[in-house]
Structure 1
Amino acid sequence: MTEEHLIRRILILDDDSDYRRLLLTHLKKLFPGTELVEYDPVANGVPGDAFDWAAYDVLLLDYYLCIHGVTGLDILQANRKNALFPATLMLTGAGTEEVAAKAIRAGVYDFIRKDRLDKNRLVSAIRLAHKKHRLHLETLREVTSQSKAFNKAIFYRSLELAGESADEKVLMLVQLDRANELQNELGLVLLTNILRHLSRMCLDLLDKAGTGPAITRLSDSATAIIMDQNGTLETLAGRARQLCEALAGNPYVYQDRVYPYTVSMGIVPLREITGTAEQIIALARADCDIAKGSPGNSYHIHATAYAGAIRTDSPPPQPEALTVPDTPAKPDISPAPPSVSMPTVPETSHPHPVVEASDKPTTRGQKPAAPDRRSADRKIEVTKDEAVLDERQLSPAALPIKKAFDENRIVQTFQPVISLVSGAEATDELFVVSLQLVTTSGAVQHADNILQAVDNDAFKKFVDRWMLREAIARVIKNEARKTIFLLRLSEASLADAYLFNWLRQHLASVRDKLTEHSITPLISADGFLHRKKQAEALMIYLKKTFGFGFALQANGPLEELHELTHKGLFDYLIVDHFKIPEMQAFVPVKAQKQDLLASLKAAGLRIVTDGIKDANELTEAIHRGVDYAMGPFVGDEITQIDESSNLESFEIT
């Protein structure tokens, strides 16, 4: 089937009736099987909320609409959250709108000057836009259908409502054993990757079993899954044992090194279970503690005698053992019989050599040799520093925030930053990273409220390291993408002598995975001035050692701004959009007659304008030579930036 046959309807939204008729004449010949619809914005007004955009596959949208205060960009902005908005090509007579269209290319598939339009260009642009948009919608439908698996607010709310559901649901908590020892030996980045690896396996196997799993990460060492029970408790026990076998046979492998691990699973059937999400998770944690008494990968089903373990020091099961039955009520492997006195049920079909029952082995098989190992004294120093946060010194307002970190109810958010320039840099994806908190009832608290409660230096450093670790792990996992994360770094961390060692420890084995500026701490002007000497030393070290970039957020006096940036330590400058004209009107004494904006750009500083609210402000920013833009018009904060992969969404949470 050809592409034009897939295009059912094309909408032409243009104030020029002659041009609409011209397009109709050409398109009837080029797309004979497609319905063509005209829309006159002058006669009919701007399409309202009730307009059925979903009825069209492609929109040809004029920039100038001869409606006071409204352009084609405003229509796009009003519908940017509408997933059913058609693939859009923007048309314009001439002028500065070309660069404006480039700036919002995330919403427009192509920009075409009317005076340069020919039928070949028109046909290829429509087909390509429709194809890309169709693929985008397919991806969006896939993510939407499973979004509950990675939205922590929805996950917690689903957990609380599961006991009232007509379908029998189950909570499965999968906890890494010896997490603290693994963290000390391997670092938090590799520990996080191990958790992702086992989470991927659990998600894939449970999905194949038809249980409809929804997954979220509870902590650095635990992941939680809500799923359909799909059968009896015996069926559930058999499925848990199969997961244990699959995990035993598939240790995490990174750069040809094998990183074995064991897990304990706490499983809570949710029928008639009521309470807050926190209380229900506490039940699963208690079952994990019971399961942990058995060597190997182990499980325990709440309030039952169903329990079992698969020892992991024996030869791994054959690949077919990884297959979870398509018919959950009739698993291929029979369930463990109930046994009150013996929670560990040995399997006759899989021999298990003797393992000391005192505790689970830290490693099995090939022991990973961590590269670039530091001395024991230095490791102890770093570990001690990371444990410095004393909850007894936290304020009553800070304690719930710390608890949310411990339970992994803090998620990162990503504010899109778009490029207003052409060339290689325009291909970079930039995001300003912040955070939000999901309460146990599923409500969301945003960064301003959270950071107000982070009221002492120790807690601020704790938050900064969490932000850095999460962003570093994302960069490593998606090294093929050129993504730059701008993360706010507090004044406390600028003077943190332990931060050097902390980064050295956690980046030792993955240093080559970081691209230039992929991690870019964002520093306030006030914080930099208060800790200038220490901040400069930190910046020089991190730029030289790890390729970090640095961004300055400043809206103070212009002469001060020139002094802050003249040493060349900053790579990005974020200022409010109203500050840009002032920068162009100000000529620093030492700037060789260049205005401040021009001198900063000549020195290699990339200018980011913040607070863009409409198309006019965006167009003005482009005219004034700004490099990047962010704000409500550009895009709202998001919690997922990888629509192509469900697992990537899991990795953010």
Structure 2
Amino acid sequence: MILDDDADFRKLLVTILGKKFTDVKLIEHDPVSQGVPGDNFDWSRVDVLLLDYHLSIPRVTGLDILQNNRKNKLFPATIMLTGAGNEEIAVRAVKAGVYDYLRKETLDKDRLYSTILRAYEEHQEERNKLNELTSQSHAFNKALFYQELEQKDKDKTNRVLIFIELDKHENFEKKFGIIFRDNIIRHIAKQSFEVFKMGETNPSITRFGDTSVAMLIDEPKSRNILEFNLEGLCGHLEKHPYKFNDKKIPATVSIGALCLSDKKLNAEEYIKHALNAAKKASLEEGDSFYLYGEPDWAAVNDQLDVREISSTEKPVIYNTQTETSQAAEPVAKLVSTPADKIEIVEKPPIREEIVQPTPPVVESVKDEIQPGPVNEPTIGKDKTKPDPKELGELMQKIKSAFEEKRAVQTFQQVIPLTQQENDQEMYIVAVQLINKDGSIMAATELNKVTDMLVFRKFIDRWMLREIIGRIASRVNEKYDFFVNISADSIADATFFNWLRKLLKGLDKNNPGKQIIFEISANEISNIQKQAMALISFFKKSHGFRFSLSQITNDQEVLNLSKTMQIDFLRDSFETISRLNTTFLGPSTNTNKISMLQQLKNNGVHIITDDVEDATKLTDTITLGADYATGLFIGEPVNQLDDVTNVERFEII
């Protein structure tokens, strides 16, 4: 499609392209006489769009059309046509989503042909990928999972709820740490999903709690088939254990399953009984499952006791510990040596054998912050965790969402406006909570409790743990993440030591180089000593970068940029404009520079965070900002484009 207000130019393009692409349908669209394509316009029938920047329509440019269609995944590959005098702005603005740009005055037929072909080919690849991601995103969507569990869609095929619990998880946590345990959970989720995906059972999967995976699959035609599938899952997990440095890590699971068609309950009750089934399976050694049957439903009550199973119930329990023979391949075990090294032994995996990888130890650094206890960021009794007695109904609701892994991270893209050495994609990370009915909890509800010190510190640790776990489980991660950290955490010595322990042994992945701590400039003035100690240590030891936001005192921010090695400054267009018009030095000095320029001279990269339309994007570029974010750049998402990697399931 050629969308241009110049009729002669449209006809010229139709003539040129018609000779080259004889089998292609060429569509002309005059925005003046036909109007700008509306919300109901079918863009799916367009493969490539040649879009004029100036449309001869008041307050509407080609970039505005892009903004209005950013949510439309079928919007075509777009090539911007620019006129003389605005090429510089256009070249930098196309980073917001335009495939390429061409100047009308110097239009070259060969370049036009090759640009269109490349745009078409890449766009087709994106559409094919979108089709795949659509089904994958459904499988790993936490909100949809809970909606299905509530059986809101009555026409759906009956489903089976499966809970997969990691056995002896406390041993993994104690010996290896949280990240290692989470990597095992991710591996179990990936393998389980692949098993049921091959069986065309339409699996959905989500993380539940710290040590469980929950799945929904289509109910098979008979109970025998379901038992066969669960038995196959146990066997598959035994044959495909998690590996660390190419060595097998012995780990077993207990699986509880129930058919939703057996009894009409709400989501919370289904979850309770599935957990109960998994606990019954855990009475057996090895990978085992327990399938709920009629005797179990008949005994349903609020005080389910999993320690005793009546022989008359005849539960379906399968385990690999008693039914499998000596392992054909060597496995890893922990040997009693001072270094706790891994050695390979010809022995089948046993649940009590826990392997300890030997992680590199961070060299001792003399800190201004005194050591303190290191704890996993859970909600419990210590001073970083809320006392349930102090929680109101809303706080209990939010506490439950975190404990049941109904908290997900969202990602707001940050795009470069100038040429950058690092080609990593950048995202601002936030938290979103899913209600048990699958709806999204309003952000205002979460904001009400973040004023509580214990909740702020808890959320800080939760955010970091999720991001570090994500990076640690991947090779060649292509994203950088802005993570907001409150002043309360920075001033807390236990946070410093908790983070050091969380990072211990992860030097190979070095997650610090992909994380940018964002600190409020308004809060940092009272904790400069602690902040400088934290920034200095983590920059040197792990490569973390730091950003300031929420600026009110411009001069103080300038001073902080010199003393605290700040890498980024993110704030509103209004604030960045103010910094650009505030000059340093005497008013009579002809060589005076703006505060914004001095910040950039100090090595600070500037981010404008409220870009909502093409005009503000253009103004932001003119202002000299290095990056931009906002609704025009893209709305927050809870999936990045590697959703096909099953190991991302806990982020979604």
TM class by shorter chain equals: 0.7 to 0.9
Measured in 2, the distance between the counterparts of 1:570 and 1:349 equals 59
Q: Which of the residues 402, 405, 416 maps onto 1:419? A: 416
Q: 1:188 to 1:567 in 2, by over 3 A?
A: same
**Do the aligned partners of 1:164 and 1:271 also contact (CA within 8 Å) in 2?**
no
SS in 1 for 2:545: coil
2:515 maps to 1:526: no
For residues 468-617 of structure 1, the aligned pairs below 5 Å read 468-514=464-510, 517-589=513-585, 593-617=592-616
**Do the aligned partners of 1:173 and 1:265 also contact (CA within 8 Å) in 2?**
yes
Instruction: Note the C-alpha offset of 1:478.
Output: 3.8
The letter of the residue matching 2:266 is T
2:395 maps to 1:398: yes
Q: Which residue of 2 aligns with 1:618?
A: 617
**Do the aligned partners of 2:418 and 2:626 also contact (CA within 8 Å) in 1?**
yes
Greater shift after overlay, 431-440 or 527-536? Answer: 527-536
Q: Which of the residues 351, 371, 381 maps onto 2:373? A: 381
What runs of 5+ residues in structure 2 fail to find an aligned partner?
Answer: 297-310, 328-348, 365-369
Measured in 2, the distance between the counterparts of 1:575 and 1:383 equals 33
Q: 1:59 to 1:613 in 2, by over 3 A?
A: same
Instruction: Note the C-alpha offset of 1:96.
Output: 3.2
The letter of the residue matching 1:155 is F
**Do the aligned partners of 2:286 and 2:319 also contact (CA within 8 Å) in 1?**
no
Q: Which of the residues 350, 356, 361 maps onto 1:372? A: 361
Measured in 2, the distance between the counterparts of 1:197 and 1:379 equals 33
Q: 1:339 to 1:352 in 2, by over 3 A?
A: farther
Deviations 1:428-461 (A, max 9, x none): 2111100100000111024443132134333322
Q: 1:437 to 1:458 in 2, by over 3 A?
A: same
Q: Which of the residues 397, 407, 412 maps onto 1:410? A: 407
Q: Which residue of 2 aligns with 1:333?
A: none
**Do the aligned partners of 2:94 and 2:101 also contact (CA within 8 Å) in 1?**
no
**Do the aligned partners of 1:169 and 1:270 also contact (CA within 8 Å) in 2?**
yes
Instruction: Note the C-alpha offset of 1:649.
Output: 4.6
2:276 maps to 1:286: yes
Instruction: Note the C-alpha offset of 1:499.
Output: 2.0
**Do the aligned partners of 1:197 and 1:252 also contact (CA within 8 Å) in 2?**
yes
2:461 maps to 1:465: yes
Q: Which residue of 2 aligns with 1:321?
A: none
**Do the aligned partners of 1:98 and 1:111 also contact (CA within 8 Å) in 2?**
no
Deviations 1:120-174 (A, max 9, x none): 1111111111111111111111111232211111110011117945623101111
Deviations 1:357-389 (A, max 9, x none): xxx9554485544543999xx999324886522
Measured in 1, the distance between the counterparts of 2:219 and 2:356 equals 37
Q: 1:164 to 1:16 in 2, by over 3 A?
A: closer
Instruction: Note the C-alpha offset of 1:184.
Output: 2.1
The letter of the residue matching 2:416 is S
2:626 maps to 1:627: yes
Measured in 2, the distance between the counterparts of 1:207 and 1:111 equals 42
Measured in 1, the distance between the counterparts of 2:57 and 2:156 equals 53
Deviations 1:227-254 (A, max 9, x none): 0122311211111111111111222112
The letter of the residue matching 1:485 is F
Instruction: Note the C-alpha offset of 1:66.
Output: 0.4
Q: 1:158 to 1:100 in 2, by over 3 A?
A: farther
Greater shift after overlay, 503-512 or 123-132? Answer: 503-512
Q: Which of the residues 121, 124, 145 maps onto 2:111? A: 121
The letter of the residue matching 1:617 is K
Q: Which of the residues 255, 267, 270 maps onto 1:277? A: 267
Greater shift after overlay, 406-415 or 383-392? Answer: 383-392
Q: Which residue of 2 aligns with 1:340?
A: 313
Q: 1:561 to 1:620 in 2, by over 3 A?
A: same
Q: 1:204 to 1:644 in 2, by over 3 A?
A: same
- Structure 1 stretches of 4+ moved >4 Å: 162-166, 341-349, 360-363, 384-387, 589-592
The letter of the residue matching 2:439 is A
**Do the aligned partners of 1:13 and 1:62 also contact (CA within 8 Å) in 2?**
yes
Measured in 1, the distance between the counterparts of 2:155 and 2:284 equals 33
Deviations 1:285-341 (A, max 9, x none): 1111111111111111123579xxxxxxxxxxxxxxxxxxxxxxxxxxxxxxx9735
Instruction: Note the C-alpha offset of 1:517.
Output: 3.9
The letter of the residue matching 1:35 is K
2:197 maps to 1:207: yes
Greater shift after overlay, 96-105 or 392-401? Answer: 96-105
Instruction: Note the C-alpha offset of 1:181.
Output: 2.3
The letter of the residue matching 1:627 is D
Q: 1:499 to 1:366 in 2, by over 3 A?
A: closer
Measured in 1, the distance between the counterparts of 2:185 and 2:112 equals 49
Measured in 1, the distance between the counterparts of 2:554 and 2:519 equals 17
TM-score, with structure 1 as normaliser = 0.87
The letter of the residue matching 2:597 is A
2:216 maps to 1:242: no
Measured in 1, the distance between the counterparts of 2:30 and 2:377 equals 66
Q: Which residue of 2 aligns with 1:225?
A: 215
Q: 1:547 to 1:261 in 2, by over 3 A?
A: same
SS in 2 for 1:122: helix
Q: 1:516 to 1:290 in 2, by over 3 A?
A: closer
Instruction: Note the C-alpha offset of 1:536.
Output: 1.4
Instruction: Note the C-alpha offset of 1:501.
Output: 2.2
**Do the aligned partners of 1:220 and 1:408 also contact (CA within 8 Å) in 2?**
yes
For residues 439-454 of structure 1, the aligned pairs below 5 Å read 439-454=435-450
**Do the aligned partners of 1:391 and 1:399 also contact (CA within 8 Å) in 2?**
no
Instruction: Note the C-alpha offset of 1:550.
Output: 0.7
**Do the aligned partners of 1:413 and 1:639 also contact (CA within 8 Å) in 2?**
yes
TM-score, with structure 2 as normaliser = 0.87
Deviations 1:208-237 (A, max 9, x none): 112111111112211111101223112111
Measured in 1, the distance between the counterparts of 2:26 and 2:524 equals 58
**Do the aligned partners of 1:163 and 1:271 also contact (CA within 8 Å) in 2?**
no
Q: 1:534 to 1:446 in 2, by over 3 A?
A: farther
Q: 1:541 to 1:433 in 2, by over 3 A?
A: same
**Do the aligned partners of 1:435 and 1:446 also contact (CA within 8 Å) in 2?**
no
The letter of the residue matching 1:45 is G
**Do the aligned partners of 2:136 and 2:643 also contact (CA within 8 Å) in 1?**
no
2:646 maps to 1:647: yes
What runs of 5+ residues in structure 1 fail to find an aligned partner?
Answer: 1-10, 307-337, 354-359
**Do the aligned partners of 1:214 and 1:227 also contact (CA within 8 Å) in 2?**
yes
SS in 2 for 1:158: helix
Q: 1:346 to 1:486 in 2, by over 3 A?
A: closer
**Do the aligned partners of 1:198 and 1:247 also contact (CA within 8 Å) in 2?**
yes
**Do the aligned partners of 2:491 and 2:527 also contact (CA within 8 Å) in 1?**
yes
Q: 1:244 to 1:441 in 2, by over 3 A?
A: same
SS in 2 for 1:271: helix
Q: 1:277 to 1:98 in 2, by over 3 A?
A: farther
**Do the aligned partners of 2:522 and 2:552 also contact (CA within 8 Å) in 1?**
no
Among the aligned pairs, what percent are the same residue? 38
Q: Which residue of 1 aligns with 2:38?
A: 48
Q: 1:101 to 1:73 in 2, by over 3 A?
A: farther
Q: 1:366 to 1:495 in 2, by over 3 A?
A: closer
Measured in 1, the distance between the counterparts of 2:285 and 2:372 equals 28
The letter of the residue matching 2:613 is D
Q: 1:651 to 1:503 in 2, by over 3 A?
A: same
Q: 1:606 to 1:245 in 2, by over 3 A?
A: same
Alignment length (residue pairs): 603
The letter of the residue matching 1:381 is P
